[in-house]
DNA sequence: CAAGCATGTCATACA
DNA sequence: CTTGTATGACATGCT
């Protein structure tokens, strides 16, 4: 019988879904067991009537009874809710209700204050119901009736439908960006959130809210934020609060990437997509914003995948959903911070391709320049979808995949390096036929080894200049450009890299560099003798018939062939092998040092970015705290006003202290019509029950 | 001349 | 075992 019932139930579900899709509203409630039973009761995963079995039979797949498919389960619940809600308006009804009850003696009020964290400044004037019960009333009364469950809801659409009543106290508090230790009550949190809802969102609220809007639309529409704050700031404040929340909840994301983390989800949820600040700033964002959108979209996918079964799915989705706004806010923040130099900078930025990099430092102030590079680098990295949490790891990863090329490295140490042009690289590869293969093969990889973080800052021209392999000389030449970047100006290695450590240079390199350009060969020979390395001198002394470059850079097979071609003594062979070993180790040491510097560079960059991020978070935190205080004050004033009106209506029989405001399940705000001793006793009794 | 830096070299470990 | 690579430690030359 049970199985038969199940069979019909699932059949009904399918039919209802199909009919609903066709536009026909079907109420399957009478034919279905209570939803709670489906969810929690006999159909629990541990019982024989697991609901996943229902789905196993639905689509023909067979799942292990213990492998509960939560996705399908919640999808089922959503579909069921949807089907059920087709016959009635599915407007989330906010169950926020406020009423006044009699204020008992001071002791009781004190106790209730302790429970709910009444307004600090109200001095016991307002008594707010226990937050847990309030949550039950708000969430359980209305939304949970629709089957919403904050845990396990994966879809963003559900999230958007999730009103604040879906969250428990902590969620709401966190959502409001409040710390745990704050004495801010749950109602204040809700009002804080509510106050940031646009009017159309308010229309989704309950009757009580509507009434309040009708009675005092201005007051209700007006956010409870401080009047000192600009009207556009609530959104930013919320985003900042959300950033704080995310930083607390997910410290792993606190990395550089966290700077792109904000409240967007909430922004969309609360309908702030058309917030004026977005409109005002959107025209300034242009390509940066698009880049951020793309990057955030990619992150959305990955984040959703990683958080599929996460307990904090709601908030994760919210954060991912709003990445766009987060980037938005970041860009806005950046634009606002750079507003002082906006005109000049904008013009320069528009001509960025043609602008000389060395002009950059003069165009931006130190702080602005730092921020700009941070933002731009973040966006660029995010756009490439390669932005890892640590540039260090990125560098190391690249290092593992790259190989070295000693040939190009030797170029940088050539005696003629000071006057050599970038063409030396190509000429070297063309002039050395046998070794060109190995050098050119490994050369492009070499370029990816070392200065990767810096190369991201380079222009296209410089990148093109690096084609053909890593050329330290290019980096030396670009060194002047690097130094324009304030981020790297302090690095000693950039300042010293221009030093001409030309001792111990292979002779063959200088020969290959300018085979036709040097007319005076005798002079060149003198220079070679003077600047050649110990190995080269020894090679010449031992009459080694080929160059050190060949010895070092030839592949093993060709190297062995070369040795076989010539009749060499044992000493010569030993020297050749030593030269090869030392040469390769020399290049390895250079690469190793370069990597080390890059790692340090990346770490330094990350530290700076994290410092800036921390400073910004602290700044936002202080701003939020200030706005919260102001809102509290406003709310207190509002209460005073309401009480004064009530006293007038009651004929001045009751004092302000005789009223407390409560919020409940009904859809209207209620106040006791009189403050008799009976109500006083009732209130006291209720309070005792709570305790 | 000492300090700091860049570079080369060696020894060693590892793939 | 050979070869190549990576890296710490030390030496050396330069500023």
DSSP per position, A456-498: TTS-HHHHHHTTTS--HHHHHHHHHHHTTSHHHHT-HHHHHTT
**The total number of residues written for chain A in this structure:** 691
Q: Say how far A585 CA is from B9 C1', in Å.
A: 8
- Provide CB contacts within 8 A for A556, sequence distance 6+: none
Q: Quick check: is A683 in a domain?
A: no
How would you classify residue A157: left for phi > 0, otherwise alpha for psi between -120 and 50, otherwise beta? alpha
Q: Quick check: is A223 in a domain?
A: yes
Provide the 8-state DSSP code for A661.
Answer: E
Q: Quick check: is A481 in a domain?
A: yes
CA A214 to chain centre: 40
Q: Quick check: is A652 in a domain?
A: no
Same-domain status, A484 and A599: yes
Same-domain status, A421 and A334: no
Separation between Cα atoms, residue A59 and residue A523, nearest integer Å: 86
Phi and psi, residue A196, nearest 5°: -95, 5
Same-domain status, A427 and A462: yes
- How many other CB atoms sit within 10 Å of the CB of residue A277? 19
Q: Say how far A27 CA is from C6 C1', in Å.
A: 71
Same-domain status, A463 and A508: yes
Whole-number pLDDT of residue A655: 58
Separation between Cα atoms, residue A258 and residue A461, nearest integer Å: 32
Separation between Cα atoms, residue A543 and residue A7, nearest integer Å: 94
Same-domain status, A510 and A563: yes
Beta bridge partners of A99: A662, A670
Q: Say how far A428 CA is from B14 C1', in Å.
A: 33
Q: Which nucleotides of C are covered by protein (CB under 7 A)?
A: 3-9, 13-15
Q: Of all nucleotides in the shown strands, which has a C1' nearest the CA of A402? A: C5
Q: Of all nucleotides in the shown strands, which has a C1' nearest the CA of A503? A: C13
Q: Which of the listed residues A49, A69, A87 is the one where a domain comes to its end? A: A87
Instruction: Please give the protein residue whose CA is closest to the C1' of the nucleotide C15.
Output: A499
Q: Of all nucleotides in the shown strands, which has a C1' nearest the CA of A500? A: C14
Q: Say how far A582 CA is from B10 C1', in Å.
A: 9
Q: pLDDT (tens digit, 9 = 90+) per residue, A457-504?
A: 333 333 333 233 333 333 333 333 333 333 333 333 333 333 333 333
Instruction: Please give the protein residue whose CA is closest to the C1' of the nucleotide C3.
Output: A556
Q: Quick check: is A504 in a domain?
A: yes
Separation between Cα atoms, residue A506 and residue A490, nearest integer Å: 32
Q: Of all nucleotides in the shown strands, which has a C1' nearest the CA of A491? A: B5
3-state SS assignment for residue A419:
helix
Q: Of all nucleotides in the shown strands, which has a C1' nearest the CA of A579? A: B9
Phi and psi, residue A241, nearest 5°: -60, -40
Provide the 8-state DSSP code for A505.
Answer: B
Q: Say how far A458 CA is from C15 C1', in Å.
A: 29
Q: Say how far A563 CA is from C2 C1', in Å.
A: 16
| C-alpha distances in Å from residue A398, one per residue of A386, A445, A458, A599 | 12, 10, 18, 11
Q: Which domain holds residue A54?
A: 2-87
Q: Quick check: is A657 in a domain?
A: no
Same-domain status, A454 and A599: yes
- Output b/e per residue, A629-662; b: 16+ Cβ within 10 A: ebbbebbbeebeebbeebbeebeeebeeebbbbb
Same-domain status, A237 and A196: yes
Q: Say how far A473 CA is from C13 C1', in Å.
A: 20
- Provide CB contacts within 8 A for A594, sequence distance 6+: A449, A450, A451
Q: Of all nucleotides in the shown strands, which has a C1' nearest the CA of A504? A: B8
Q: Which of the listed residues A611, A641, A676 is the one where a domain comes to its end? A: A611
Indicate if the alpha-carbon torsion angle A243, A248, A253, A254 is positive or negative: positive
- Give the residue ranges of chain A where pLDDT is below 70: 1-533, 651-691
Q: Of all nucleotides in the shown strands, which has a C1' nearest the CA of A594? A: B6
Separation between Cα atoms, residue A639 and residue A208, nearest integer Å: 16
Dihedral of the CA atoms A51, A53, A54, A55 (nearest 10)?
A: 100
Footprint of strand B, using CB within 7 A? A 412-413, 492-493, 495-497, 499, 501, 503-505, 533-535, 578, 581-583, 585-586, 589-590, 593
Q: Say how far A497 CA is from B4 C1', in Å.
A: 14
Q: Say how far A594 CA is from C8 C1', in Å.
A: 15
A583 close to A576: Cβ distance less than 8 angstroms: no
Same-domain status, A204 and A316: yes
Whole-number pLDDT of residue A366: 36
Beta bridge partners of A660: A101
Same-domain status, A371 and A437: no
Separation between Cα atoms, residue A42 and residue A29, nearest integer Å: 18
3-state class percentages of chain A: helix first, strand second, coil last, to nearest 5? 70, 0, 30
Q: Of all nucleotides in the shown strands, which has a C1' nearest the CA of A412? A: B7
Whole-number pLDDT of residue A617: 97
Footprint of strand C, using CB within 7 A? A 399, 402-404, 499-501, 503, 555-556, 559-560, 580-581, 584-585, 587-589, 591-592, 595-596
Same-domain status, A256 and A343: yes
3-state SS assignment for residue A642:
helix
Whole-number pLDDT of residue A658: 57
Whole-number pLDDT of residue A660: 55
Same-domain status, A285 and A153: yes
Q: Which of the listed residues A558, A581, A611 is the one where a domain comes to its end? A: A611
Separation between Cα atoms, residue A220 and residue A594, nearest integer Å: 62
Separation between Cα atoms, residue A441 and residue A404, nearest integer Å: 10
Beta bridge partners of A505: A532
Q: Which nucleotides of B are covered by protein (CB under 7 A)?
A: 4-12
Q: Say how far A585 CA is from B14 C1', in Å.
A: 15
| C-alpha distances in Å from residue A244, one per residue of A112, A175, A580 | 29, 10, 57
Whole-number pLDDT of residue A20: 54
Q: Say how far A457 CA is from B5 C1', in Å.
A: 26
Q: Which alpha helices (DSSP H) does A23-130 contain, by range? A: 35-39, 51-59, 70-84, 106-116
Separation between Cα atoms, residue A238 and residue A628, nearest integer Å: 11
Indicate if the alpha-carbon torsion angle A672, A678, A684, A686 is positive or negative: negative
Q: Of all nucleotides in the shown strands, which has a C1' nearest the CA of A399? A: C6
Q: Quick check: is A267 in a domain?
A: yes
Q: Say how far A440 CA is from C10 C1', in Å.
A: 33
Could you give the number of structural domains in chain A? Answer: 3
A53 close to A65: Cβ distance less than 8 angstroms: yes
Q: Say how far A585 CA is from B12 C1', in Å.
A: 13
Same-domain status, A219 and A291: yes
3-state SS assignment for residue A102:
strand
């Amino acid at each position: 019988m049970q199985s038969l019932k199940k069979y019909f139930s699932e059949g009904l579900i399918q039919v209802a879904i199909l009919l609903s899709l066709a536009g026909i509203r079907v109420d399957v409630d009478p034919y279905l067991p209570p939803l709670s039973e489906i969810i929690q009761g006999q159909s629990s995963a541990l019982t024989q009537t697991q609901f996943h079995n229902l789905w196993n039979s639905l689509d023909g797949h067979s799942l292990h009874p213990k492998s509960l498919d939560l996705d399908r389960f919640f999808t089922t619940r959503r579909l069921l809710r949807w089907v059920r809600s087709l016959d009635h308006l599915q407007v989330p009804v906010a169950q926020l209700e406020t009423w006044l009850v009699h204020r008992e003696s001071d002791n009781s009020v004190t106790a209730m204050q302790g429970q709910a964290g009444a307004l600090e400044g109200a001095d016991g004037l307002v008594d707010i119901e226990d937050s847990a019960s309030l949550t039950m009333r708000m969430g359980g009364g209305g939304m949970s009736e629709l089957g919403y469950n904050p845990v396990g809801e994966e879809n963003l659409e559900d999230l958007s439908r999730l009103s604040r009543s879906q969250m428990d106290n902590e969620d709401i508090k966190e959502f409001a960006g409040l710390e745990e230790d704050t004495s801010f009550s749950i109602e204040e949190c809700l009002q804080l959130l509510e106050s940031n809802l646009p009017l159309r969102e308010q229309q989704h609220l309950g009757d009580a809210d509507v009434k309040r809007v009708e009675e005092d639309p201005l007051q209700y529409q007006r956010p409870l934020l401080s009047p000192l704050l600009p009207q556009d700031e609530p959104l930013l404040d919320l985003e900042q609060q959300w950033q704080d929340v995310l930083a607390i909840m997910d410290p792993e994301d606190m990395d550089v990437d966290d700077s792109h983390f904000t409240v967007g989800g909430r922004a969309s949820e609360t309908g702030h997509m058309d917030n004026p600040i977005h409109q005002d700033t959107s025209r300034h964002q242009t390509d940066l914003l698009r880049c951020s959108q793309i990057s955030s979209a990619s992150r959305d996918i990955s984040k959703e995948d990683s958080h599929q079964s996460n307990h904090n799915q709601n908030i994760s989705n919210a954060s991912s959903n709003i990445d766009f706004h987060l980037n938005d806010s970041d860009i806005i923040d950046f634009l606002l911070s750079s507003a002082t130099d906006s005109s000049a900078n904008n013009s320069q930025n528009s001509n960025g391709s043609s602008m000389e990099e060395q002009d950059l430092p003069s165009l931006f102030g130190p702080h602005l320049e730092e921020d700009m590079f941070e933002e731009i680098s973040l966006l660029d990295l995010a756009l490439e979808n390669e932005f890892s949490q640590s540039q260090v790891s990125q560098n190391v990863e690249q290092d593992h995949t790259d190989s070295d090329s000693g040939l190009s490295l030797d170029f940088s140490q050539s005696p003629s390096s000071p006057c050599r042009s970038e063409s030396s690289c190509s000429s070297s590869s063309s002039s050395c036929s046998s070794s060109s293969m190995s050098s050119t093969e490994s050369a492009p990889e070499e370029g990816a080894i070392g200065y990767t973080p810096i190369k991201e800052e380079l222009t296209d021209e410089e990148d093109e200049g690096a084609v053909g392999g890593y050329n330290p000389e290019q980096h030396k030449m670009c060194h002047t450009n690097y130094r324009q970047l304030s981020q790297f100006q302090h690095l000693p290695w950039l300042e010293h890299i221009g030093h001409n450590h030309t001792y111990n240079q292979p002779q063959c390199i200088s020969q290959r560099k300018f085979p036709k350009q040097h007319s005076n060969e005798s002079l060149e020979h003198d220079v070679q003798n003077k600047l050649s390395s110990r190995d080269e001198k020894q090679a010449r002394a031992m009459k080694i018939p080929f160059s050190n470059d060949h010895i070092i850079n030839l592949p093993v097979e060709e190297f062995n062939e070369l040795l076989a071609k010539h009749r060499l003594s044992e000493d010569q062979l030993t020297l050749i092998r030593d030269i090869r070993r030392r040469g390769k180790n020399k290049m390895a040491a250079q690469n190793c040092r370069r990597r080390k510097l890059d790692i340090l560079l990346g770490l330094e960059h990350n530290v700076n970015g994290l410092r800036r991020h921390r400073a910004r978070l602290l700044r936002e935190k202080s701003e939020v705290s200030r706005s919260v205080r102001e809102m509290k004050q406003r709310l207190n004033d509002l209460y005073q006003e309401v009480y004064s009106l009530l006293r007038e209506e009651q004929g001045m029989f009751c004092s302000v202290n005789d009223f407390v405001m409560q919020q409940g399940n009904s859809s209207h705000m209620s106040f006791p019509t009189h403050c008799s001793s009976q109500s006083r006793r009732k209130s006291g009794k209720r309070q005792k029950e709570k305790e």
